Amino acid sequence: MKRLVVFLILVLTGGLLAKGSDKIYEDLNQAKIFYDQKNYLLARERYLTVLSQGVKAKEIYYNLGNVYYRLGDLGYSRFYYELAREISPRDSDVNFNLKFIRQQIKEPPLPWTEELSGILTGWGNRNEIFLMCLVVYLGLSIGLVFYFLKKWPVLKTINWILIGLWLVLVVIFLLKMKEEVWTKWGITIANPVTEVRNGPGQQNSVALTISAARKVIILGEENDWLAVGLPAEGLKAWIAKKDILVLN
């Protein structure tokens, strides 16, 4: 696996250290020390303590992914890598480790439509894509005003380019919203395999078994069971809640 990122957080509020930042600093230092000593259980405890204090950062999620990988828990490892990727989609270490886990569990390829959507949305997070939409929209608005005032032919061409770019960005933003907000995802954590059943309950037959660390779509729930979609297999079935970590 890639290197462990050394990350020390100082929470600032109005230019002053926020309450509890010294404790966060200490916990992160201790987590790094425990990780270097290969005491992964104590490193995990420290990182989880930081998260329990309301700190959410890509580096902490990434480090927890590394810790769980060292502990042999691919499900939790992927869960935290996925959280890190939501914050920083372009991070090469995060993407490398996610790809490594997908290869390790031999995850089937997604349908080409899902692969294409991932490529289109993978260059930025929701906030970055929304900001790009806003910047292009403002540029287009200014360009239209100048065109109606000056009637410069070159502005007409520029405005058409900006319209096309804005429409593309809007589509990408909607795809990103579908991927991260409108679609609910989960990661399987049962080791070594998760049973996928034809109905919500142990009395229903097993449709198939899948490995830990598989990413599934959560479609609904009934009692202690979740209805899930497996995009690669094109299958809708049920998995026990205890065997899934919900991402969003």
Break the chain into its structural domains and give their ranges: 12-104, 118-182, 184-246
Structural tokens at position 229: 């979609």
Say what the pTM is. 0.84
Structural tokens at position 102: 């997908």
* Assigned CATH for 12-104: 1.25.40.10
Q: What is the pLDDT of residue 4?
A: 52
Architecture of domain 184-246: Roll (2.30)
**Residue at 62: amino acid letter:** Y
Q: What is the pLDDT of residue 14?
A: 35
- Please classify residue 130 by burial: count the beta carbons closer than 10 Å to its beta carbon, then call 0-12 exposed, 13-18 middle and 19+ buried: middle
HEC-encoded secondary structure of 60-89: HHHHHHHHHHHCCCHHHHHHHHHHHHHHCC
Cα distances (angstroms) measured from residue 110 to each of 31, 83, 168: 36, 20, 23
Measure the CA–CA gap between 159 and 69, rounded to whole angstroms.
50
Residue 25 and residue 9 in contact, taking contact as beta carbons nearer than 8 Å? yes
| Closest to 159 measured CA to CA, from 187, 178, 175, 137 | 137
In which residue ranges of the chain is pLDDT below 70? Answer: 1-20
Cα distances (angstroms) measured from residue 155 to each of 135, 139, 146, 150, 234: 17, 11, 8, 9, 48
**What are the backbone angles phi and psi of residue 222, rounded to the nearest 5°?**
-150, 115
